[in-house]
Chain A
Amino acid sequence: MISRNQLKRLHSTIVKPYIYNKGLRSLCSTSIKFHRVQHDTKQEPETHFGFKNVPESMKENLVGQVFENVATKYDVMNDAMSLGVHRLWKDHFIRTMAPGPGTKLLDVAGGTGDIAMGFLNYCKEIHGDASAQVTLLDINPKMLEVGKKRFAKSSYNHTSQATFEIGNAENLSSIPSNSFDVYTIAFGIRNCTHIDRVLHEAYRTLKPGGRFMCLEFGKVQNPLISSIYNFYSFQIIPVIGQIIAADRDSYQYLVESIRRFPSQEQFAEMIKDAGFTIVGDGWEDLTFGIVAFHSGFKL
């Protein structure tokens, strides 16, 4: 006869592994494929994909899949997640850009065309100008499709003010050097594998005197806002993603990728390293630092 104490100890040793086993099992079976891949390409440098680390060559495909899944509901989700505030950010962005008549804009990772459309509208409304040109470039064909459809429904569908191209921000081989007045990349640069290459290409394609402008999610300094923001990002946004876009994982990637992107200071350094001249700090915090507006000039 075992004593009650011995039995209790035995109980705890057998039950615990069972409970942990559940967690282990779920981890093992779903990530088995991933582990196999990582073993084969151990030599290849790794980069971040959300909170995971993946081989660099895979990141582009994974990001491609994410945006393919969300393309049709992208605009709806933007409004739902940011409660419409993203429109304010983008509006401020374009007003700060203050393009004059005849400006040529290269909108990289333009996707569904928020910035491009806003730019053309600004030129039309403020200057009555119809000679502004925008080249909307995106790596994902599905996002570009959505952008094209949107322009087809607008008043710009018969003009040649907007052109659409598929391209990789890291290697803009189809764009000649020194050809654009403004280069914008809004909420796209954190999805790129090599940010330094993107910045280098931006520098190359801009005319001397041209402006590089980047909107990207940043780090929040205020601790109260930060905790609310974290709660909202990790608990609410994926749920909204599941309900509206039926895709929780893509929005989980989105909020995780925001956390892995360099801070505003680090990114401003990277912009300086690419050769741009920055004014003051080089960035402006919007909404307590949730979004940062970076800017640099090619002089």
Chain B
Amino acid sequence: MFRASSLSTQIHTRKFLLANLSRNILQSNLHRDNKNSEVIPIRTNYTSSTNSQISNLEKCILAVSSALTAFCDPGRGDMIATLGETTGSIFINRMRDHMLRDKTGRRILRERPRIHSSTIDIPYLSSLPLGTFGKEYTNFLDGQNVTPDTRVKVQYIYDDELAYVMQRYRECHDFFHALTKLPANVEGELALKWFELAQTGMPMTLLSSIFGPLKLSSKERERLFKKYVPWALQCGSQCKFLLNVYYEEHWNKNIDEMRNELGIYLVD
């Protein structure tokens, strides 16, 4: 019995060591392919003082105060971002591991593409035929009068890869809108938050999903919980993990075909 348990421990430890070794190799190779992330920094420029990491106490205080600020002033998108970063540690790790298990996800982590007006050609995308993913995306952007440059940079995640995962998650938010055809009003954003909750499980999405509807009127709330939330939870949990899609390679694809492949169905 002693020998059997020592064998299983050894196998377990070796698997763990092997996983760490491969991760080390992967990380050491990453710098070679990081052209994009050097051009557009992922994290805020530390113009001041030291690059010291914040303490856990500060993280707690920041999480609570950013949650309160975001609730009181929904226009503060940067507060939601901060809330996500301070509360999301385990879940971002899980998202990264999810990406590592998929072939395309691994390629995204290696190449680290960025979605920025300097890396994607928006005029070209708006010239694509109607019904393609690129055209739907630019229609959405034009409808909201936004550019992909408005995303807040990562501040409180100190590991490069995790910071990239967070940044990619933020940048893909508009793609989710295009794929699920949800409008960018409060209802649509909340429905999308429920969808992201089902996909990623992040506490920030949970908090937004629970406290966000308090800001709606009762009729809107009823519609949200009757129509959108069941769809979001169902669709979000059954479709492919959306961060594993290399969106930059699918501009020309027909959007309905793309939805079929990913397992997304629209709200009725």
Q: A residues near B, CB below 8 A?
A: 1-2, 4, 7, 10-11, 14-15, 17-18, 21-23, 25-27, 29-31, 49-52, 62, 65-66, 235-236, 238-239, 242-243, 246, 248-250, 252-253, 256
Contacts and interface: CB of A to CB of B under 8 A. Distances in A.
Nearest to B47: A65
A273 B17 CA distance: 64
22 contacts: A1-B10, A4-B6, A11-B16, A14-B20, A18-B23, A21-B27, A22-B159, A25-B27, A26-B158, A26-B159, A27-B51, A30-B46, A31-B51, A51-B50, A235-B55, A239-B58, A239-B61, A243-B65, A243-B66, A243-B69, A249-B49, A256-B49
Interface string B140-170: 0000000000000001001110000000000
A66 B48 contact: yes
Interface string B76-98: 10110010000000000000000
A50 B46 CA distance: 12
B62 interface: yes
Contact of B79 (A14, A30, A243): A243
B44 interface: yes
A111 to B, nearest CB: 18
B62 A239 contact: yes
Interface string B25-68: 00100000000000000011011111111110110011001100
Nearest to B58: A235
Given A30-B51, A49-B49, A235-B57, 14 more contacts: A4-B9, A11-B13, A14-B17, A15-B20, A21-B27, A30-B43, A62-B48, A66-B48, A235-B58, A239-B58, A239-B65, A243-B66, A252-B52, A253-B47
Interface string B174-196: 00000000000000000000000
A240 to B, nearest CB: 8
Contact of B82 (A1, A31, A242): A242
A130 to B, nearest CB: 42
A276 B38 CA distance: 51
B92 to A, nearest CB: 13
A252 B48 contact: yes
Contacts of B51: 26-27, 30-31
A247 to B, nearest CB: 9
Interface of B: 6, 9-10, 13-14, 16-17, 20-21, 23-24, 27, 43-44, 46-55, 57-58, 61-62, 65-66, 69, 76, 78-79, 82, 155, 158-160
Sort A-B residue pairs by CB-CB distance and give the 10 closest, nearest first. Answer: A50-B49, A253-B48, A26-B158, A249-B48, A256-B49, A51-B50, A253-B49, A235-B58, A243-B65, A22-B159
Contacts of B54: 238
A246 B62 CA distance: 12
B48 A50 contact: yes
A30 B52 CA distance: 11
B61 A249 contact: no
A68 B82 CA distance: 22
A88 B158 CA distance: 40
A49 B69 contact: no
A286 to B, nearest CB: 25
Contacts of A252: 48-50, 52
B160 A25 contact: yes
A65 B48 CA distance: 9
A51 B48 CA distance: 9
Nearest to A11: B13
Contact of B48 (A17, A243, A250): A250
Contacts of A248: 155
B100 to A, nearest CB: 15
Contacts of A50: 48-50
Contact of A236 (B21, B61, B158): B61
B21 to A, nearest CB: 7
Nearest to B34: A29
A51 B49 contact: yes
Given A14-B17, A243-B69, A249 B44 contact: yes
Given A235-B55, A236-B61, A239-B61, A18 B24 contact: yes
A249 B17 CA distance: 38
Contacts of B61: 235-236, 239
A22 B58 CA distance: 20
Contacts of A21: 24, 27
A1 B14 CA distance: 12
Pick the most buried of B27, B49, B78, B158: most chain A CB atoms within 10 A of its CB: B49
A4 B58 contact: no
Nearest to B18: A14
